[in-house]
Structure 1
Amino acid sequence: MSPSKRSVTRPEKRCPICQRPFQWRKRWMRDWARVVYCSDACRKGTPRGRAVGSRLGAKTPC
């Protein structure tokens, strides 16, 4: 296997809003210590998915 194809272990953090893990990215190289959220939506506090209690996926009992 060529050196460029090897699996690299990258630093990981967990988003405080959605609890999803996210990994280091090259564009965050200078700011990794200040990166807290996994996305702009979490940074803005926009609710999404079931992790924050969305009613879109909820089933109601019959």
Structure 2
Amino acid sequence: MPRMRRKTDLPTKVCAACGLSFAWRKKWERDWDNVIYCSERCRRNKPSSKGSA
């Protein structure tokens, strides 16, 4: 049986929408390189590329 890992030992990234860091999750195992948002909420509310001014 594999040994448990501490959460501090997992890789982290910074969310493109909110700027907070988030840790690797098992459900992102195959797609970790493409994950850029920490949650579904941040993905839906991603910053637009158009200026609002």
Fold conserved between structures, TM > 0.5: yes
What code does the residue aligned with 1:40 have? E
- Of structures 1 and 2, the one with the larger relative CO (CA 8 A, separation 6+) is 2
2: CA distance, partners of 1:7 / 1:41: 26
1: CA distance, partners of 2:45 / 2:6: 33
Residue 20 of structure 1: CA displacement? 0.7
Query: 3-state DSSP class of the match of 1:17?
Result: coil
* 1:44 equivalent in structure 2: 44
* 1:50 equivalent in structure 2: none
Instruction: Give the percent of matched residue pairs that are identical in Structure 1 and Structure 2.
Output: 44
Aligned length: 43
User: Which has the larger share of helix?
Assistant: 2
**TM (normalized to structure 2)?**
0.69
**TM (normalized to structure 1)?**
0.60
Moved over 2 A (4+): none
Query: 3-state DSSP class of the match of 1:38?
Result: coil
